[in-house]
Chains A and B, each alone.
Chain A
């Protein structure tokens, strides 16, 4: 199999709707995990991990998802891959509903959507040479072993590893950054159109992280990929993303173009998150924390706007009524906050948030 096969493969017979049709549309995605308790093992409560979220991902873009632990960002990734089943909600991949009659099957969707996880060691089989790990997916879909291995070695070149040196090695013989390159190569082996990167660089050292980020950008360009990039690192997300979605306790609080979000955040939580980033300047240290306390427990999230318990602008309306994010057009910058809605009854409706920096 020649190198050019990759370039051909991505210029793609699988593209159905043309460039204007979003590659992925998600409507009302919801997952509540039951908590069993008592001697009868009844369901006593639900973790509302993902609570009715909607967004779109356009072809060729990178959508960054940021949020703190427990906000549901990893659950979203797992739901999109159907590693767990959603309770409700619709997932449309390039015009085809996933797992629905007259849509595409989950298996077919998984050929086109691949995932890279945070922990580079535990996601590789320790008893398999890395080139066999990369070849495993294509072989499972009927590729001959010799062809699959040849392609795996080509992919090793693509991710910057010498196949003669690294192909036959086992995961424990590689560093964290090298293992993550293998994981990326394995995801690419299925020739996906979309790659979901769940904290894929978070465990790497800073000097290695930058190498992998550059690699991801190069691959995206060369192979015409679309990324969903999940991270808690705001700096990294800003650098890699075209658009950013901010999540808090299972809900989308703000979504929009990356620079817009970072320059003019509309939601107080986004503002607080940005202001919590340590300053890189010892002469301008942060004197006050932007918000106090920890994120609340997603088992019993606060009523109304879920951020109202920590929000400096909270008023009566915020605990009474849940703010709607409205219709999300792909290019728009919107936030689920009563201050964004002039008719909400919030006294500061229409106000522009000012940062401490």
Chain B
């Protein structure tokens, strides 16, 4: 078991307020090998970003209750104190976000911000940090890197800003990169550039990447494995080929069928009826049951246990043997 870089077991995150208890993540388990790219696929509110933030303990400690086990590079993340967390963040696990404008300090030059991180983590001088920043800008293929180091975040275009954030995240050579919808806010012609860049960097540096997205096309471009999330649970995992070509969970199948890509215009789109559940009041059994075309009475009895229809595949559905989703 120690060969896995990431081991998450029965992770649950509850956000507790006076009025309500939001069960954002309900028993997520997965493992990741070094050098693997996994896509967390799901809609808004499915708990994918919360899972990412739990991996780095970025959730507000007073209001969030995290249970379960998280081990990254052999260390128990949930048992870490502040000092250990600071050491882990950046050097073992690093994160990039959807909106780079909010990740950078708007009143400091990007080169200085990267240099500061390197100097702090590595104990080197600011000058050496700047040199490292220049190397990183070359690595993420920012043109005229030397000049761009002196730019403020607002002076960079969306694509360059995202590249600069990737450079910042890679500055301490993390073993695991968490990417939370990093290409969603980008234009189409820029998104594909950043995806190809991330794929190349991942191969060159051999790091593991967890890539959060709601876009099946993005998952097809970058993932080795896919974990489909719904209402705070991983409902299906498998290799990207298997999951996209032969979805086993009715939700995955419905998501694939309802995504618009070159369907004939005169036909209605296939849809999943209804809307995702309220995370304050989850149904007792399978959370997808109210929207599921294959639902039977047993689906509401309890949360479906994981079954493995094929090696490397895990599906949380008691109806996998029922006829395919039409």
Contacts and interface: CB of A to CB of B under 8 A. Distances in A.
Interface string A230-250: 001111101110000000000
Contacts of A232: 187-188
B43 A206 contact: yes
B103 interface: no
Interface string B210-242: 000011111011010000000000000000110
A276 interface: yes
B1 interface: no
A272 interface: yes
B192 A205 contact: no
Contacts of B223: 282
Contact of B269 (A214, A281, A288): A214
Given A280-B216, A289-B192, A239 B44 contact: no
Contacts of B326: none
Given A68-B187, A276-B192, A287-B196, A235 B261 contact: yes
B220 A207 contact: no
Size bin of chain A's contact surface: 35 or more
Contact of A278 (B157, B159, B220): B220
A207 B254 contact: yes
A176 B45 CA distance: 12
Given A178-B275, A206-B214, A294-B190, A217 B220 contact: no
B187 A292 contact: no
A217 B221 contact: no
Contact of A206 (B191, B240, B255): B255
A239 B188 contact: no
A295 interface: yes
A217 B266 CA distance: 10
A303 interface: no
B189 A239 contact: no
A337 to B, nearest CB: 17
B313 to A, nearest CB: 15
B92 to A, nearest CB: 28
A188 B30 CA distance: 47
Contact of B188 (A68, A207, A288, A293): A68
A106 to B, nearest CB: 32
A210 B221 CA distance: 22
Contact of B158 (A178, A236, A294): A294
Contacts of B190: 68, 294
Contacts of B192: 275-278, 286, 289-290
B258 interface: yes
B191 A276 contact: yes
A283 B199 CA distance: 14
Contacts of B199: 285
A19 to B, nearest CB: 20
Contact of A272 (B159, B189, B220, B269): B189
Interface string B154-182: 00011110000000000000000000000
Interface string B257-278: 0111111010011111101100
Contact of B221 (A69, A286, A310): A286
A273 B187 CA distance: 9
A277 B216 CA distance: 11
A181 B193 CA distance: 35
Interface of A: 68-69, 175-178, 205-211, 213-214, 217, 232-236, 238-240, 258, 272-273, 275-283, 285-295, 310
Interface of B: 43-44, 143, 157-160, 187-193, 195-196, 199, 214-218, 220-221, 223, 240-241, 244, 254-255, 258-263, 265, 268-273, 275-276
Given A235-B261, A279-B221, 13 more contacts: A210-B259, A232-B187, A238-B262, A239-B265, A275-B192, A278-B192, A278-B195, A280-B220, A285-B199, A292-B193, A293-B159, A294-B159, A294-B187
5 contacts: A206-B258, A210-B260, A285-B199, A287-B196, A294-B157
